[in-house]
Amino acid sequence: MSMTAQTLTAELTAGYLDYLDGSVPSSLYRNGKVFTRRDPDGSDAGTGGVNRHRMEMQIYNARLLHGDARHTLARNGYELLNRPGSLEGIDCFDHQAVVKKYYPQCADTVRAFTGGQVFAFDHNVRSATGKQNRQRIAGGQHVQGPARIVHGDYTLTSAPQRLRDLT
C-alpha cells in the first residue's frame, strides 16, 4: 500500500538546496571549468567555476514510503535499507579504526543486498566546527566542511579513472 499525498504532505519540510546555476557548463565530463580544488592532503580547498542557484524545495522523508511508492535500487538507483550498523567503539576521527571496523560492516551490507563484489573505500568526515578548528583525523586528512551544494562525487571521466586507481 502506498502512502497518500495527504500523509506525505504532513511529513515534509521546506528547505533550501544549492544547485549549479544554469549558466555553468556541464561538468558531467571533466571540463576544467567546474571543479573542486584539493590541497596536498586531499582536503577541499575551494572551487572553480561554481555559480550557485539556491532553490526552495519540499523535502520528503523517503523512509516513510511503502509499496509501489518505495524507492528501489532497480527503479531509482538507490534504496534506503534499515540495517543495523554499529559505530560503537569506533572513533570516527581515527582513519584506521573506521577503515578496519566500519568499512567491513558497510561492505557486508551492500554485498548481502546486491550479491555483488564489494570494496568499501574513501570517506570524509565533514563538520563545520571541525573544519573551522582545523581538526585533523588521526592517520588521515583534515576534517572537511559541509559540501553545501547538490553534487555527484564523480564525473563520467573520473569514475572509471578512480576504479582503475583502486584496482
Flag whether pLDDT at 7 surpasses 70: no
Distance CA(96)–CA(138), nearest Å, equals: 8
**139's torsion region: left (phi>0), alpha (psi -120 to 50) or beta?**
left
Span 86-106, pLDDT tens digits = 888 899 999 999 999 999 999
Give the pTM. 0.75
Amino acid type, 8: L
Residue 145 confidence (pLDDT): 86
Distance CA(47)–CA(29), nearest Å, equals: 16
